[in-house]
Amino acid sequence: MSDILIQARNLVKIYGKPGGARVVAVNDVSLDIHRGEFVSIMGTSGSGKSSLMNILGCLDKPTSGTLTLDGSEVSRMDDEQLAKIRNRVIGFVFQSFNLLERTSALENVELPLIYSDRQNPARLAREALISVGLETRIHHLPSELSGGQQQRVAIARALVTDPEIIFADEPTGNLDTRSSLEIMSLFAELNRMGRTVVLVTHEPDIAAHTRRIIRIADGRVAEDRGNSAPLDAAKELAEMPATEAR
């Protein structure tokens, strides 16, 4: 088995119709992401980083170029095939949490299992919530949870199908400093357990927690470098003054 989980070659994404105004969101991007990596895709608003993540995560198709995921070319698959790939291989976490407001944490986490053949969805959802430290919040509604707790529910929902890779799009964008560090500490722990994590952010201090930083500018890879000394979110939390605690 190859250690390359994602292989992108000459990806291009153009929005707009021929003859009209067109935007080149992703412009000839080639990169590899290996199993077990902790990667950030960083760039300013409008740089193309989220468009790239949507292609890498099989939420969107490239205009041209090829994408291979876990040995299978997915760039030419139809929507039904892509949905199966997403449900089997990929978990997603978004900035806005995307939780159903009138539905408990447990029921929110169960949702992806509706489209799978896994048995005992309630048990799996409960185990996922426990794994992110929410064993006492299982039956709470989103309105009864803090922003950091809501994001933990979203992470549990991403984990419940046991995906090989987690994509997180600005997962700390709506959180305060302590909650952001808690979420980054959780991602680091998931990565240490063998999960591949790809995180999209515009914040350099968030990207600094990852082991590889890919900077996107004008739809292109402007920089791709390793980070041999990533920041330790758990250590930062431990050193944070008690007055900053929630």
Q: If pLDDT is split at 50, 70 and 90, which confidence band does 54 have? A: very high
Strands (E), the chain: 4-15, 23-34, 38-42, 64-69, 72-73, 90-94, 165-169, 196-201, 212-217, 220-226
Q: What is the C-alpha separation between 62 and 180, in angstroms, rounded?
A: 31
230: pLDDT strictly greater than 90: yes
89: pLDDT strictly greater than 80: yes
Q: If pLDDT is split at 50, 70 and 90, which confidence band does 18 have? A: confident
Q: What is the C-alpha separation between 50 and 42, in angstroms, rounded?
A: 9
Q: If pLDDT is split at 50, 70 and 90, which confidence band does 14 have? A: very high
182: pLDDT strictly greater than 50: yes
pLDDT for 114 equals 82
245: pLDDT strictly greater than 50: no
Give the least confident one: 91-95, 114-118, 127-131. Answer: 114-118
246: pLDDT strictly greater than 50: no
